[in-house]
Structures are given as C-alpha cells and as structure tokens.
Structure 1
C-alpha cells in the first residue's frame, strides 16, 4: 500500500501563531516548508483556491522539498463555480472585464467570463503548475465544487468541461451538494467519474448536518484514491459572517476516531496505486498532530 498523509496548507495563521508545530527560529517561508516536508510526504496548496498560483512560487517549492514530495493543488475558485471578486484576478484580466462600477457586479462567476478570457485563465493556471509537474512533485488538482453545483445537467456539463481542460493531469473531485452522492444518484455519479478517470474525494465531516455530501468509500481512479478530513464540529460547520476556515474546521480527532478511519483507509488503499489523506481541520496544529498520529497507526502502509 502507498498511503500518503498531509495537511491542507503549512502556513495557516493559527498554526504559526500557536508556536507548537514549527521549532524556534523556523520563521522564514523556506524554513517552514523544509521543516514540514521533513515530516510529511504530501501537502495541499489551499491558497490556490483563493488566488491564482504562480510559476515562481512553484519553482521555489520544488527547490525546497525533497524528491518524492507531493503537492496537491486546490483549483481556483472561479473554476469551481464560486463567486469570485475581481480583486483576486490578475490585474490585466480584471481590467479587461471592467470594474464593478461599470459592470454592476461585485462578484463574477465562471459563466460571466468571455470564452477567450476563460481560455487565458486556464492557460495561466496550468502554466503555474508546470515547475512542479516537471520535477514530478505535482500530485492531483482538487476541484471542490461550490455547494450550489448540483447533479443537474447544466452543472454536470461544467464538471465535464473542467475534466476536458485538465486532460493529462490527475483531477480529483469533491462535491458539496447532497444531490451527487445520495442513495439515488451515487451510482451514476461514480460511473461518471470512472468514465473520465476523475478521482472521487471521500469526505469526512460532521455526520449530523444536511449541507454536506454523503461519505462514500469508493475509488474511481486507478492511480489515486483521496480522503479529505474536515473535522466533525457540528456547531461551527455553518459559521456566521466573518468566520474563517479555521473557525469552521476547528476539530481535534480523537485516537478512537482516527483508528476507525485507519481501518477504512486501509480498505480502499489496495484499490488504487496511491492514497492521499488530507487533514483539513486547520486550526492551530490539530491537522498536523492528527496526521502524524494516523501515520503512526497506518505504520508500514505509509510510503
């Protein structure tokens, strides 16, 4: 079995502020990444969701990590159907689209972009990944689709377009709308992912909330299975205005919970060449501690 564990990011503000993960004096961007990569074989670049990644950063990350280290990237929010402020777009593209004063739109959606600008955004996104791809450090690109992206035909067509754009890359898909993986839709959704060789993301989240997909332990890509652990904090799952991701995913898995997860992870790990386990409970050092504990439980299964 080849199971790799890591966390969704390594520079979260609360992680740095708690001063429990990074050793004293480990304060530069380079030092933090090198230290993280000394403990884990995998990380998810969460910042690529909030803003377009850059080839410059990718090159630096390749130089600062050992051979065999893997970066998964979250797809930029515009591609996954989320509302996107013009402020986070490249300046020349934002200018070409016009200001909110001229367009009347505070936020943009993928459908708002002319075809030529969509093409350019995709080109730049993939260009930013290239240094990691060239050094064999690029893992999967994770598309965490917006909660309002349903299994309706027009949304299915959007997922299909993303798959076509990502041809030649490993694309992982995390749905957030229940319509994809409920009892009546799960078979067709999994078949859709298998036909396109898209990796289904198995989600662990609070069991007693309604605005989440069901946890379905299935593998749809021969090369990759993926598990993302969001914590089980029911009270903070639907945060109020101004709440951060750290607030929502503030949850410390118990050893008993991690032990149960380890059993399920082992069960799927022999159905794909690699299994990626990402802890997204990004509050202080919870994700890092939980990941290290799980790695110890999996023992020799971890590569």
Structure 2
C-alpha cells in the first residue's frame, strides 16, 4: 500500500494564525512551519498561485522541515490561464504586456528556479496546475495541457479541473487516458454536490507514483461568493470516514497519496486533517 500524507493547503493563512492553533513562542515564520511539520507530512503552498515563489523561501522551507516532508506548489496564475494582476509579477517584469511570449518564458524560468532547492532537498511533492472553470474539454484545452506538460517536464505534475465536464461519466475515461499519457496526476476533489459547478467525486489514478485529493468543503456557495463563502466548512468525522475506502483505493494504486484540506476558516483545515489522521490510525 502506498504512503498517505495528510496536510492542509496553507500553514500561513491569516485566519489560521489568528485562531490560536499555533502555540505561544512558535508564531513567527520559522516557528509556525516547524510546528506544522511536527504534526503533518505535506503542505500545499497556495501562495505560489498569487505571486512567484522565491529561491530564498524554498531554501528556508527545506531547512525548517524534516526529511520526508513534502511541499506541493500551486502554479502561478499566469501559467494556468487565470487573470493575473501586473502587481503580482516581480517589479522588473511589470512593464511587459501579459500576453508577451517572452514574459511567459521568463515567468516559467523563474518559477522553475524557485522550485530547484525543494527538488534538490527531496521535498518537492507535486506542482499543482489548477485550471479555471472556463477551461472546458476540447482540442484547445488538450493542446494547452500538452504544452504545459512540456514546460513542466522536470517536475511531478498534478492537474485539478474546475469545469465539471472533464469528469462527467461519458467523458471520464478519455480525461483519465489523456492525463495518463502525459504522466500527470489527476487531482480528486471533495466539494458540495448538486450545484451547476459541482465537481464529481471521482478518484481516478493516472500516475502510479502520486495521487492527490483536495478537500474544499461542502458549502453551497461553491463557485460563487467570496473565498470565505466558498470554502467555509467544518468536516464531520462521518464525512471524512466515508472517504476512507476511496483513500485506500488510491493508496493501493499509487506510491504516495497527498490529502490536503482547503476548507475555511480559522483552524477548520488543520482540525479536519487531525481528525482524518485519527480515523486512519484507528481503521
């Protein structure tokens, strides 16, 4: 059976820091990460979506975590077709047009350079490419997936779709085959069901090395409203226990399974991760 690594989609979220989960004396940048890494074995760096990560931070993260700890890095917004503010770019690149191919080349280069210390220390888990809700199945999207994989060829790559049609029953096998051919991990998600934007709760395995599950919460505002509205949810033990067979299914087919909680707010994500760890230990 593969290794299950449990964690959350951020350890620096302001609401988490304010919740009191971090004890006194461990609320500075170094203390927070060391405290988190003593309790969980993986974390997602969602800040990589909002701004390019830095080489310096990757070095510090490697130094402050134990061997075997993994960082999943969320790809910068420009690399997945999301709207990107010029202010999110490094100052020396803000004079470029966002559609400039040379700018895109440079962003890819700097993103990759920032990942290098994590790769060299054995702490890079996966690079998560989360595509926007309008990224629908079709030839254009498939071409972009091929181009993205070519750019990201040195890294373990995971893809999360936000358009439900990718995993509709009549399309599911084709999507899985595409990602398998690209050697890309399909990200399984847990979200509210019954909404036009709901993602099917499927657990495809498209890589024998890695499977990824992201728990976004089950708020009916999924796909609308503010971030707090979309992701606000407290997982119950019963909701998480229902996932145990699915997680074992993934672990039977992949060497590593990363399970990440993205539910807000406060300490809801770390508490859900702790609950899941307890369920797994007792099962």
TM-score, normalization by structure 1 = 0.90
- Whether 2:173 is the aligned partner of 1:187: answer yes
Partner of 1:67: 67
Partner of 1:175: 161
> Which string of whole-angstrom CA distances, capped at 9 and with x for unpartnered residues, describes residues 269-302 of structure 1?
110111110001131111101111111111289x
User: How big is the shift at 1:213?
Assistant: 2.5
> Which string of whole-angstrom CA distances, capped at 9 and with x for unpartnered residues, describes residues 70-104 of structure 1?
0000000111110001110111211133xxxxxxx
Secondary structure of the residue aligned to 1:5 is strand
Are the counterparts in 2 of residues 249 and 283 from structure 1 also a CA contact under 8 Å?
Answer: yes
- Whether 2:245 is the aligned partner of 1:263: answer yes
- Whether 2:233 is the aligned partner of 1:251: answer yes
List structure 1 runs of 4+ shifted beyond 3 angstroms.
Answer: none
User: How big is the shift at 1:156?
Assistant: 1.5
> Which string of whole-angstrom CA distances, capped at 9 and with x for unpartnered residues, describes residues 41-83 of structure 1?
1000010001110001111111111111100000001111100
Q: Which runs of 5+ in 2 are unaligned?
A: none
- Equivalent of 1:151, from 132, 137, 157? 137
User: How big is the shift at 1:115?
Assistant: 2.2
Are the counterparts in 2 of residues 68 and 137 from structure 1 also a CA contact under 8 Å?
Answer: yes
- Equivalent of 1:204, from 190, 193, 203? 190
Partner of 2:41: 41
Partner of 1:100: none
- Equivalent of 1:133, from 95, 119, 134? 119
Report matched runs for 1:1-303 at 5 Å. 1=1, 2-19=3-20, 21-97=21-97, 108=98, 112=99, 114-234=100-220, 236-240=221-225, 243=226, 245-299=227-281
Q: Distance in 2 between matches of 1:88 and 1:77?
A: 9
Secondary structure of the residue aligned to 2:243 is helix
Q: Distance in 2 between matches of 1:52 and 1:85?
A: 12
Q: Which runs of 5+ in 1 are unaligned?
A: 98-107
Are the counterparts in 2 of residues 223 and 272 from structure 1 also a CA contact under 8 Å?
Answer: yes
RMSD: 1.3
Secondary structure of the residue aligned to 2:12 is coil
Secondary structure of the residue aligned to 1:68 is coil
Going from structure 1 to structure 2, the CA distance change for 1:195 and 1:269 (only over 3 Å counts) comes to same
Q: Distance in 2 between matches of 1:269 and 1:300?
A: 17
Q: Distance in 2 between matches of 1:88 and 1:268?
A: 36
Secondary structure of the residue aligned to 1:96 is coil
